[in-house]
């Protein structure tokens, strides 16, 4: 009887949620049309005219971009730098089978060159026949050249079909979660891997690549590693990007750098341009001071895509998904090693912001995966009956050495070995552990030693930081010497930063940096879900008080290390008042966050709360609950991008 009642309640709740979701999607539907883009790429080696097939039927805006115009083709008024040719112009002529359709003269922007960002409406809308072939001729002060790329913008169909497709996918996800939660709970590892891949696809359908912070830099680093592995490093020591579509996206010459759903549609449907092989590529990737092995998962995807000769979209997305698959598999391995915290790991992996971050080329994927794996190894060794062996220490040391040189602020995660009781250790493993710690220190110094010394000894550590605030007169940076002479002031800086930024950092860690306009109820539901998870997910470990305190200490030390890093690298001392630490993002704290679940889990004496948690099955239901949260955040992100 009780089981039937529970099933009825579940069905009623499922139908109510689905009805509310469907009603929201119907009421918040897109209206009107949006601009569609067609890029016509020129080449300095081409003939006087460029041939293209029309993707648009009506052109309402045009943008141009100069591409290495040969100096000998310019007349005397064009000689010298582009800044000297601001008074020149480009004549653009578009012809079809019936003769000249369009002819207009364009003046360059104030910067002295044309960019796709500066769209120019033609005097009258240009009508084209979809699929028909046209020719473009350009002339700079009378000298014909094809070294100009042209972007045509025109009215396209309503985004309603795309909206219906994505909403249907989200509704299917909700149906599966609401109607079959028991199967998800009973197979958490499989559910996590499948969920991450499905959510990765949905995120890609909503956001075009390179929306994740610093993803362009990470993509170039990944491309360099892929090039090294396939022998594509050229004489200049660089790996050149040859796919014209990737070059265009990396140069930011299209609106792909902005958060707009129409950019994603253009990216996924752009089959007529972007797949040309460039002989003289303006974009190349070189070595970096970050250990290159952290880009290996994405590099394998790039190599596979290039070997299969996929379009540039396929190459780019395959590298992203191999990175995501690596994260999902390592997370599943971490869950298998320590089943008592499998829901804690799965819930953290399914933070909407983390799913979006891991569907990218970011090396944070490597950091997150290995941080979870290291913690699981420590707890696995803690829970089992056998004593520590040299092999166990070797595994811990290998994961730690692979993690810390990539981002040395996570060095305090190594204190997790103290979660393993003292009676589990014997003499040989201790000696081996000390040797592994010494090797870790050597690896950190080898890969990042100069950077660490710069943090501690100079105020010119980061060139990007200098460019960021170089316009401020009389600027002064934090140094070790300043901190030693002003410890009280620096302590106030840390406290003020914690007081003013903690909420935003936590919000961005959970929901991602693009989810600033989330409805308050969605955010509140997410926070309550995390609280339920972190209070109950680790209770099966039966942690002692000293273990919970140690977990909290590791989290605080790791957080202080992140604070200190950005204090030295991005912050400056204001002339008046108390400053704050600049440049931090919530994603940097996520590798440390499972430790909060260990430090705040319900103690043994909280018998009533533990009984209530067991009755409600709080740890288990968080997995399907996080999938529902992801579906909601994906919808509201899509709605915000469409400005619904």
Q: Is 90 exceeded by the pLDDT of residue 17?
A: no
Average pLDDT, rounded, for the chain? 78
Secondary structure class of 596 (helix, strand, coil): helix
Residue 281 pLDDT greater than 90, yes or no: no
- Per-residue pLDDT, averaged over 74-103, amounts to 58
| Residue of higher predicted confidence among 74 and 402 | 402
Residue 473 is predicted with a pLDDT of: 57
First to last CA, the chain: 45
> What does the pLDDT read at residue 465?
47
Which strands, in side-by-side order, build the sheet including 35-40? 35-40, 148-155, 61-66
Query: Count of alpha carbons within 13 Å of 318, Cβ hemisphere only?
Result: 19
Compute the C-alpha angle 33/59/37, nearest 5°.
Answer: 65
Q: CA–CA separation, 152 vs 132, rounded Å? A: 15
Instruction: Give 288: exposed, middle or buried? Use CB within 10 Å, 0-12, 13-18, 19+.
Output: middle
Least confident of 50-64, 76-90, 95-109, 432-446: 76-90
Six token digits for residue 565: 């890093």
Q: Do strands 284-285 and 239-240 pair parallel, antiparallel, or not at all (unpaired)?
A: antiparallel
Of 148-162, 284-298, 608-622, the range with the lowest mean pLDDT is: 148-162
d(CA 372, CA 463): 32
Q: Is the pLDDT of residue 335 over 90?
A: yes
CA atoms within 13 A on the CB side of 124: 5
> Looking only at Cα atoms, what is the longest distance across the chain?
93
Quick one: average pLDDT of 415-443?
74
pLDDT tens digits, residue range 546-556?
A: 999 999 999 99
pLDDT of 184? 86
Least confident interval from 127-131, 201-205, 328-332, 401-405:
127-131
Q: Which of 446, 568, 556 is nearest to 502 (CA)?
A: 556
Helix residue ranges per DSSP H, 512-584: 520-536, 545-569
How confident is the model over 455-474, as pLDDT tens digits?
A: 554 444 443 444 445 555 56
Handedness of CA 445, 451, 455, 456 (dihedral sign): positive
Q: Over 50: is that where the pLDDT of 75 sits? A: no
Q: Per-residue pLDDT averaged across 556-583, rounded?
A: 87
Judge residue 415's burial from the number of C-beta atoms within 10 Å of its C-beta, 0-12 exposed, 13-18 middle, 19 or more buried.
Answer: middle
Q: Determine what percent of the chain falls in helix, strand and coil, rounding each to the nearest 5.
A: 60, 10, 30
The pLDDT of residue 454 is above 90? no
Between these two residues, 336 and 73, which has the higher pLDDT value?
336
In the three-class reduction of DSSP (H, G, I as helix; E, B as strand; rest coil), residue 260 is classed as coil
Distance (Å, whole) CA 240 – CA 246: 11
Least confident residue range of 91-100, 376-385, 587-596: 91-100
Q: Is the per-residue pLDDT at 321 higher than 80?
A: yes
Per-residue pLDDT, 516: 59
Residue 255 predicted with pLDDT over 60:
no
């Amino acid at each position: 009887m009780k089981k039937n009642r529970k099933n009825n309640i579940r069905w009623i709740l499922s139908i109510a949620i689905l009805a509310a979701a469907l009603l929201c999607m119907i009421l918040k539907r897109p209206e009107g049309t949006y601009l569609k883009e067609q890029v016509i790429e020129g080449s300095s080696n081409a003939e006087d005219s460029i041939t293209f097939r029309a993707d648009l039927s009506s052109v309402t805006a045009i943008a141009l971009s100069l591409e290495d115009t040969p100096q000998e083709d310019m007349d005397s008024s064009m000689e010298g730098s582009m800044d000297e040719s601001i008074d020149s112009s480009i004549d653009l002529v578009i012809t079809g089978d019936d003769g000249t359709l369009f002819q207009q003269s364009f003046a360059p922007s104030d910067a002295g060159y044309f960019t796709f960002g500066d769209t120019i409406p033609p005097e009258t809308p240009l009508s084209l026949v979809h699929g028909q072939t046209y020719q473009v001729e350009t002339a700079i002060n009378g000298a014909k050249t094809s070294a100009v790329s042209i972007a045509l913008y025109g009215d396209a169909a309503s985004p309603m079909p795309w909206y219906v497709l994505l909403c249907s996918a989200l509704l299917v996800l909700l149906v599966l979660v609401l109607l079959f939660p028991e199967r998800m709970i009973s197979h958490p590892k499989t559910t996590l891997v499948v969920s991450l891949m499905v959510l990765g696809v949905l995120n890609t359908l909503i956001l075009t690549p390179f929306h994740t912070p610093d993803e362009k830099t990470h993509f170039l680093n990944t491309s360099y590693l892929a090039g090294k592995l396939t022998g594509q490093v050229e004489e200049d020591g660089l790996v050149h990007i040859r796919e014209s579509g990737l070059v265009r996206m990396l140069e930011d010459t299209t609106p792909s750098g902005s958060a707009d759903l129409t950019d994603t549609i253009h990216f996924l449907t752009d089959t007529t341009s972007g797949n040309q092989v460039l002989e003289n590529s303006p974009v190349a990737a070189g070595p970096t001071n970050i250990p290159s092995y952290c880009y290996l998962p994405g590099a394998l995807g790039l190599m596979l895509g290039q070997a299969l000769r996929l379009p540039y979209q396929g190459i780019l997305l395959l590298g992203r998904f191999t990175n995501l698959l690596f994260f999902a598999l390592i997370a599943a391995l971490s869950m298998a090693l320590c089943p008592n915290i499998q829901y804690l790991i799965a819930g953290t992996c399914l933070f909407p912001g983390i799913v979006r971050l891991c569907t990218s080329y970011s090396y944070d994927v490597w950091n997150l995966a290995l941080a979870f794996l290291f913690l699981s190894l420590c707890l696995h060794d803690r829970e089992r009956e056998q004593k520590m062996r040299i092999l166990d220490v070797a595994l811990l040391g290998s994961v730690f050495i692979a993690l810390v040189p990539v981002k040395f602020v996570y060095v305090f995660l190594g204190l997790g070995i103290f979660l393993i009781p003292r009676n589990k250790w014997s003499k040989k493993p201790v000696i081996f552990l000390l040797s592994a710690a010494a090797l870790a220190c050597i690896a950190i110094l080898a890969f990042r030693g100069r950077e660490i010394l710069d943090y501690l000894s100079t105020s010119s550590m980061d060139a990007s930081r200098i460019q960021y605030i170089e316009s401020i007169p009389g600027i002064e940076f934090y140094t070790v010497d300043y901190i030693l002479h002003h410890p009280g002031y620096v302590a106030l800086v840390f406290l003020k930063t914690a007081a003013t930024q903690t909420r935003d950092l936590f919000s961005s860690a959970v929901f991602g940096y693009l989810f600033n306009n989330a409805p308050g109820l969605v955010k509140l539901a997410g926070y309550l879900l995390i609280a339920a998870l972190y209070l109950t997910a680790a209770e099966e470990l039966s942690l002692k008080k000293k273990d919970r305190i140690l977990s909290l200490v590791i989290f605080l030390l790791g957080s202080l290390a992140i604070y200190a890093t950005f204090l030295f690298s991005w912050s400056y001392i204001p002339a008046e008042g108390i400053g704050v630490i600049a440049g931090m993002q919530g994603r940097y704290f996520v590798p440390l966050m499972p430790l909060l679940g260990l430090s705040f889990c319900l103690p043994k004496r909280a018998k009533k709360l533990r009984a209530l948690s067991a009755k409600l099955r709080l740890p288990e239901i968080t997995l399907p609950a996080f999938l529902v949260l992801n579906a909601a955040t994906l919808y509201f992100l899509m709605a915000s991008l469409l400005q619904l």
